[in-house]
Structure 1
Amino acid sequence: MTDLLYDADEEALRDSVRALLTAYAPWQRTLAAVDGEDPYDLGLWRRLVDQLGVTGLAVPTEYEGAGAGFREVAVVLEELGRTVAPVPFLGTVVATRALLACGEHTLLRQVATAKCELTLAVGFATAPDTRCDPLKVGPGPTVSGSVSGVVDAVPEGLLLVPAGEGLYVVEAADPAVRLAPVVSLDATRPLVDIEFTGAPARPVATGVAAAEAVTAALTAGAALLASEQVGLAQWCLDTTVAYVRQRHQFGRPVGSFQAVKHRLADLWVELTEARAVARYAADRLGAADAESSLAAALAQAYCGPMAVRAAEVCVQLHGGLGFTWEHPAHLYLKRAKSTAIGFGTADRHRAALARMVDLPAPPAEQRH
C-alpha cells in the first residue's frame, strides 16, 4: 500500500520553500502586488528557481533535473497555496508533464535549468477528458487561431501549443502572437487570451503521441492543483483558529462558542481527507500508474469544493474584518473560487469518475 505520509526529503523541501516564502512573499506584499502593473512577482520566481530549483523537480537527472518527482512538486504547490504567491509554477509543471510524456528532452533541459518559461496553451478550465478544438497548422509550419483563458503564459517565454494533429512550440514574444490579459476574479493568477496569426512553430509531437501528451498534462494539472487547494485551505483554517482564539465577544473568545467549534472541526476533518486524496493523486501521477486519471478526478471532485468552503469559513468567522480589502482573506476566497474550475469543475470530474467505474448516468429528469 502506498505510504502517503511526507518523508524526510519532502519535509526538508517544505521547510526550505516555506522559509523563502515567509521572507519574500508575505501576504502584505501579495496584496500590494494585485494593484500593481506586473502580473507576477518575478523576483520571487527567480529565487524559487535559482535557489531551490523548483522547475527541475520532476525532470530526470539525465536531463539536468533534480530527479525527484511529482510528490515533491505537490509539496511546493501546497506551500504556494498557503501564500497565494503570484508565480507561474503551475503552468510550468503542467507543460513539463507534457514534455515527459512525449519525450522532448531538449526543452526538458531548458525548463530544468531555468533557461525558459513554458506553459501549455490551453484554457485553464479545460478538463483532462475535454476534446480541445485544435488550432490550424499552416505551411512552415505556422499556427493560427486563438485560445482563451491560458494560465501562466509569460510574454518572454515559450508556449506549448496543441494544433492540428500535433503539439508545437511557439515563442510568446513573436510578433505573430498576441497575449491579451483577461480581467479575472483571481488577480494573483493572471490569465491571458492568446491569438496566433501564422506564428512560426516547431513540432514536438504528432498524432497519438501529441494527444496523449496533452491528456497527461491536463491530468497532472488536475492532480497537482489539489495540493495547492489543500495548502490554501490549511492557511484558512490555521488563520481562522488563531483569530477566534484571541477575538472576544460577550466577554468570551469567539472560538469558545459551540457553533464556531463545530464549523472548524468539520473543516479540519474535510481538510484531512482532502490531504490524503491530493497526496494519492500526486503519488499515482509520479508512478505513471493506470489509476492516475481516476486519482486526479477524485482529487478535483473533492478538493475544489473543500477549498471554497474553507475560504468562505475564513471570511465569515473573521466577521467584518474578513470582508475588508486590507485583510488577505479575500485573496484566498478568490483563488479558491478560480481553482474550483481549474482543469475541470467538480461536477465534470464526478461525471468522469462515474464513467471510469461504469456507473450509469441518471435519467435526464433527475439531472441538475
Structure 2
Amino acid sequence: MKLVLSQEQQQLREAVRGFLRAAAPLRKAREGYDPQVYARLNGELGLSGLIVPEEYGGAGAGLADLAVALEETGAALLPGPFLATQFAALALTQVPDKELLGGIAEGRVAATLVQPEQDLAFDGTSVTGTLPRVLSGAEAGVLLAPAPDPAPGPGGVVLVAVDLAGPGVTRTPLETLDLTRGQARVTLEHAPARVLGRPPAGSGIGDRLCVALAAEQLGVLRASLDAIVAYAKIRVAFGRYIGSYQGVKHKLADMHGKLEQAESIVRYAAWAADESPGELPGAAALAQAYVGRACFEVARDHLLLHGGIGFTWEHDAHLFYKRAKADEVLLGPPRIHRARLAELLEL
C-alpha cells in the first residue's frame, strides 16, 4: 500500500490546481456553473474522461488518480456537474456503455446518478417516478438510475439511462444550502429509458462513490485550513497576531491533525478501490464516517476563527461551510456509514 502521491499524480495535481486558479478562481464560485470553464476543463485537461477506460476514449486512470483531481476541484469549490458526472462514470465502468462513456470522455455528456433507494417504476421502455433531489439535475443531460428489472424471473435491478431533455421529464431547480452546486427535483412521467445492463454482484459502485466524495471533501478541508492559517498570520488583535494566541493556535493544530488523518484515509480508500477490492467496503465506510464530519468541523471552525468578517455574505468562509455540510449528507449522514463500518468490523 502506498499513501504518497506518485510523480505523475503530483504533476496532475499541479496541472489541475493551476488551471482552476486561472479559469475558476474562488470569486467565480458564487456565479454558479460556467459551461465554458467546464468545456475547457475537459478539452485542455481531459478530466471528465480520467476514469473512463481507454477503449472508450478515456485515460483509463484509477480512482487514486481521480481522487487527486477531485481534491483540487473541491478546494476550488468548482460549480457544475463535474462530481455528478464522475459519479455516473464510476457506475458506467461497472455497466459499460460505449455511447455514454465516449461522450463523457469527450466532454460532450454531463451526466448524473441517482441513489438506489429511489422508488422508480420501469416497464421495460419507460420510467415513472419523482426524484426529490438530484445532484446537478438542472445542468446534466443524462440521468442514470437503478430501476426494477422487468424481465421474468428473480427480482433484480438494472441501470437505465434517461435523456433529461427528452419527453416526460420535468426538472425543477431547488434552492439549496450550497450556493456553488445545484440540485433539482426531477419528475419522470413515462420518460423513455434505455437499459444499460445489470450491475455485477459485488461491483461496489456505492463504495466508489463514497471514496470519490471523500476526495472532494479532503480538498474542501485543506482549503478551509489554508485560508484560516493565512488569516491568522496577518490579523492583529490587541497588538498581536491572532495566530500567537493559545486558543487559536491550539485549534489550528487540532484542525491540522484532522487533515492529516483525513488524507491518510482517503489515500488508503482510493488505493483499496484500485488494488484491493476486498478492503474497499470498510475503507469506503471509514472515509465517509470520518472525512465527512472532519471536513464540516474544519470548515465550521475556520468560519468561526475568522471572527465577525467570517459571518459576512461577502467573505468566502460561508461558501466552504455550506459545501462541507452539503457534502457531509450527500451520500447519507455519517451515522449511516459508522453503522455500516461497525457491521463490517462485527462490532
TM-score (norm 1): 0.88
Counterpart for residue 193 of structure 1: 185
Q: Which shows bigger deviation, 69-78 or 279-288?
A: 279-288
Determine the C-alpha separation between the residues in 2 that align with 1:224 and 1:116: 19
Give percent identity, aligned residues only: 39
Per the TM alignment, residue 102 of structure 1 is displaced from its structure 2 partner at its CA by 1.9
The 5 Å alignment of 1:355-366 reads 355-359=343-347
Supply the RMSD in Å over aligned alpha carbons: 1.6
Match of 1:194, SS state, is strand
AA aligned opposite 2:329: I
Determine the C-alpha separation between the residues in 2 that align with 1:81 and 1:262: 26
AA aligned opposite 1:145: G
Match of 2:277, SS state, is coil
The 5 Å alignment of 1:332-351 reads 332-351=320-339
Q: Which shows bigger deviation, 80-89 or 323-332?
A: 80-89
* Aligned residue among 178, 182, 187 for 2:170: 178
Residues 219, 290 of structure 1: alpha-carbon distance in 2 compared, 3 angstrom cutoff = same
Determine the C-alpha separation between the residues in 2 that align with 1:328 and 1:275: 23
Is 1:83 the counterpart of 2:82 in the alignment? no
Structure 1: segments with no counterpart, 5+ residues: 34-38, 123-130, 360-368
Per the TM alignment, residue 106 of structure 1 is displaced from its structure 2 partner at its CA by 3.4
Is 1:98 the counterpart of 2:98 in the alignment? no
Native 8 Å contact 2:211 2:288 kept in 1: yes
Per the TM alignment, residue 154 of structure 1 is displaced from its structure 2 partner at its CA by 4.6
Counterpart for residue 205 of structure 2: 217
Is 1:261 the counterpart of 2:252 in the alignment? no
Per the TM alignment, residue 324 of structure 1 is displaced from its structure 2 partner at its CA by 0.6
Residues 89, 201 of structure 1: alpha-carbon distance in 2 compared, 3 angstrom cutoff = same
Native 8 Å contact 2:225 2:298 kept in 1: yes
Per the TM alignment, residue 212 of structure 1 is displaced from its structure 2 partner at its CA by 5.5
Native 8 Å contact 2:167 2:192 kept in 1: no
Determine the C-alpha separation between the residues in 2 that align with 1:64 and 1:337: 35
Counterpart for residue 155 of structure 2: none
Per the TM alignment, residue 210 of structure 1 is displaced from its structure 2 partner at its CA by 6.5
Native 8 Å contact 2:207 2:284 kept in 1: yes
Counterpart for residue 228 of structure 1: 216
Match of 2:278, SS state, is coil
Per the TM alignment, residue 217 of structure 1 is displaced from its structure 2 partner at its CA by 3.0
Residues 352, 309 of structure 1: alpha-carbon distance in 2 compared, 3 angstrom cutoff = same
CA deviations 1:174-211 (Å, max 9, x no partner) are 121111111111011211111110011111113xx377
Structure 2: segments with no counterpart, 5+ residues: 150-157
* Aligned residue among 25, 48, 55 for 2:48: 55
* Aligned residue among 35, 44, 69 for 2:62: 69
Determine the C-alpha separation between the residues in 1 that align with 2:337 and 2:238: 45
Match of 2:313, SS state, is coil
TM-score (norm 2): 0.94
AA aligned opposite 1:5: V
Residues 112, 254 of structure 1: alpha-carbon distance in 2 compared, 3 angstrom cutoff = same
Native 8 Å contact 1:117 1:154 kept in 2: no
The 5 Å alignment of 1:1-368 reads 2-31=1-30, 33=31, 39-122=32-115, 132-138=117-123, 141-155=125-139, 157-165=141-149, 166-206=158-198, 209=199, 216-287=204-275, 289-359=277-347
Native 8 Å contact 2:138 2:182 kept in 1: no
Determine the C-alpha separation between the residues in 1 that align with 2:244 and 2:9: 35
AA aligned opposite 2:127: V
Residues 154, 184 of structure 1: alpha-carbon distance in 2 compared, 3 angstrom cutoff = closer
Per the TM alignment, residue 104 of structure 1 is displaced from its structure 2 partner at its CA by 2.6
Determine the C-alpha separation between the residues in 1 that align with 2:318 and 2:257: 23
Per the TM alignment, residue 153 of structure 1 is displaced from its structure 2 partner at its CA by 2.5
Match of 1:291, SS state, is helix
Determine the C-alpha separation between the residues in 1 that align with 2:279 and 2:221: 26
Counterpart for residue 36 of structure 1: none
Per the TM alignment, residue 155 of structure 1 is displaced from its structure 2 partner at its CA by 4.7
Match of 2:270, SS state, is helix
Native 8 Å contact 2:112 2:140 kept in 1: no
Native 8 Å contact 2:130 2:186 kept in 1: yes
Determine the C-alpha separation between the residues in 1 that align with 2:71 and 2:289: 18
CA deviations 1:256-275 (Å, max 9, x no partner) are 01111100001101100100
AA aligned opposite 2:17: R
The count of aligned residue pairs is: 339
